[in-house]
Structure 1
Amino acid sequence: MIQIAGTMPYRRLPNTDQARLRALKSAIKKGSSLSPVDLAFSQKLLLELKAFLPHFEQVLNQYQYNRERQANTGKQLGEHYKSARLYVSHFFQVVNLCIARGEIKPEARTYYGLSVDEKSVPEIGTEQQLLQWGKSLIKGEEDRMAGGATRIYNPSLAMVRVKFEKFLEYYNIHKDLLATSQKLLDKVNDYREQADKLITSVWNEVEAKNENLSPDERREICSHYGVVYVFRPSEKEHSSI
C-alpha cells in the first residue's frame, strides 16, 4: 500500500452519540487489556473514562426513553384531540339548532363566550383553540343549567366533559414530557461536551505516545484505541503492485 505524496488523512472526532460510545469503549477496552506501562494514555484518564461512561449511557437511555414516551403520548393526544374537537363542535352546532327551533333563546350563546348573533361554530383547528372553547363550553353550560334551563342532548354535557377531560389529561402529560425532554437534552449536551473532551484527551495522548512511528504505523496503532482517520475525497489512499 503506497500513499500518494501530499495525501494527509485527518482525525475525525465522533459526531453521534453511538460513535462517542464506541470511542469511549474502545479506549476503556485497551486500558483493560494492557498494563499501565504499555498503555498509550494515562491511568488517571482511564479512571475518568470508566467513571464517566456509565453516567453518559444512563443519560442517553433516559433521554431516549422519554422521547419514545413523548412520541407515543403525542400520537394518543392527537386521537383524543380529534375526538374532543368533534364533540365540542357538535355541541355548538346543537346549540345553534336549538336556537333556530326556538327551544332556547339566542342569549344563551353568551354563556359560552359567543356573541348573541354569532351563528357559526367557533374555529377549533388547534389544541389551544380546543382548550379555550372546551373550557368555555363546559363552564358556560354549567352556568346555564344552574338557572334550570332546558338540557342539551346528543351530545350531552357529560359526554363532552368526558372527551374534553381525556384530551386535557393527555395534553398535560405531553406538555410535561416535552419539558422533561428539553431538560434531558440540555443534560445530554453537557455530557456530549464532556465526552468529546475525554475522547480528545485520549487521542492526543495516544498520538503523542506513538509520534516517533511512521505515519502508517502510528495510524494503525492509534486506530486500535478508537482513533478515527478519514481521507478526503480528493486524497484517497491508492495502492500499487
Structure 2
Amino acid sequence: MPYRRLPNTDSSRLRALHILYSKGKELPPFKLGFSQNVYTRIQSFLPGFENAISQFRQAYAIQVKRGREYQNLMKKARMYISHFIQVVNMAISRGELPAQTRAYYGLEEHSSRLPSLVSEKDILKWGEAIIKGEQQRIMKGMAPVTNPTVAVVKVRFENFKEACQNQKVLQKNSERALEELSRMRKQADEIISQAWNEVEESFAGLPDEVRRSRASEYGVVYVYRKNELPGLSVFDRIQVSAG
C-alpha cells in the first residue's frame, strides 16, 4: 500500500496550503472535504507563513551578499597586516631597525615568523597590536614604517572591523528569521496533517483507488515503494509519474 507523505520543504508546504485554501474558497462547506475550522486556520495562517518565508530568504540573501564583501575585506586586511610585519622584518634583517622593534607590535623579539592570520579573531588581534605599536613608536619620534604605512593598514583594518560587526548583526537577523520560520513550519505541518486527515476520513467509504484520487485533488501526496510499482492501476501509475 502507498503511504502518505507530508510536505518537507517550504515550497511544498505552501503548495499544499494553497491547494487546500483554493478548495475552501471554491466549494461550499457541505461539499468540502475538511472542516470550516481548518479552512479558517489556513486563511489566517497562510499570509503570515508566506511572510516568514520571504523574511528569512531576504535576510539570508543579504547575509550571503554581505558575506562575500566581508571575505574580500578580510583578505585585504590580512594582506596589509602581513605586509606590514614583513616590511618590519626585512628592515630588521637589513639592520635599519633594531630587533626590539618587534616588541612594540607584540611580536617575538628574535623571531621573524609571521603570526597566524587565519581567523577573524587573529586579524582583529594583530591589527589592533600593529596600529597601537606603530603609533607608540611614532610618538617617541621613531621613523615610521612605510609601504605600507600604518595609516593605510588602519584604513583596511577599520573597514574589516566594521564589516565584522555588520556581519554579526546580519547573522542575528537571519537566526531570528529562521527561528520564527521554524516555529511556523511546525504549525504548517500540523494544519496540513489535520486537513489531510479530515480529507481522507471524508472519503473513507470509497474504494482505495477512488479515495486516493479524490484526496489527491486536495493536494494529498501518496508515495509508492519500489516493490509496489508492478501491477499498479492506470490512476496509480499516473500518480507515480506525476510524483
The aligned counterpart of 2:70 is: 77
The aligned counterpart of 1:225 is: 218
The aligned counterpart of 1:212 is: 205
- Residue pairs, 1:144-159, within 5 angstroms: 144-159=137-152
Give 1:90's aligned amino acid. H
The aligned counterpart of 1:110 is: 103
- Residue pairs, 1:1-241, within 5 angstroms: 8-236=1-229, 237-239=231-233
Partner SS for 1:106: coil
Partner Cα separation in structure 2 for residue 73 and residue 25 of structure 1: 33
Q: CA RMSD in A?
A: 1.5
The structure showing larger relative contact order (alpha-carbon pairs under 8 Å, at least 6 residues apart) is 1
Q: Deviations over 1:5-48 (max 9, x none)?
A: xxx11111001111100000000000000011111111111111
Partner Cα separation in structure 1 for residue 19 and residue 138 of structure 2: 71
Partner SS for 2:232: coil
Which one is further off, 50-59 or 73-82? 73-82
TM-score (norm 1): 0.92
Give 2:46's aligned amino acid. L
Q: Deviations over 1:145-174 (max 9, x none)?
A: 222221111101111011111111222222
Which consecutive residues of structure 1, in runs of 5 or more, have no partner in the other structure? 1-7
Q: Is the 8 A contact 1:30 1:39 kept in 2?
A: yes
Cα offset for 1:72? 1.2
Partner Cα separation in structure 2 for residue 17 and residue 60 of structure 1: 7
The alignment of Structure 1 onto Structure 2 pairs a total of residues equal to: 233
Partner SS for 2:112: coil
Cα offset for 1:63? 0.8
Give 1:238's aligned amino acid. L
Partner Cα separation in structure 2 for residue 9 and residue 97 of structure 1: 74
Partner Cα separation in structure 2 for residue 76 and residue 202 of structure 1: 45
Partner SS for 1:164: helix
TM-score (norm 2): 0.91
Partner Cα separation in structure 2 for residue 28 and residue 239 of structure 1: 29
Q: Is the 8 A contact 1:104 1:150 kept in 2?
A: no
Q: Is the 8 A contact 2:196 2:220 kept in 1?
A: yes
Kindly tell me: are residues 238 and 41 of structure 1, through their superposed partners in 2, closer, same or farther at Cα, counting changes over 3 Å?
closer
Cα offset for 1:239? 4.5
Cα offset for 1:70? 1.4
Give 2:232's aligned amino acid. H
Partner Cα separation in structure 1 for residue 165 and residue 130 of structure 2: 19
Q: Is the 8 A contact 2:137 2:144 kept in 1?
A: no
The aligned counterpart of 2:239 is: none
Q: Is the 8 A contact 1:59 1:187 kept in 2?
A: yes
Partner Cα separation in structure 1 for residue 102 and residue 141 of structure 2: 16
Partner SS for 2:66: helix
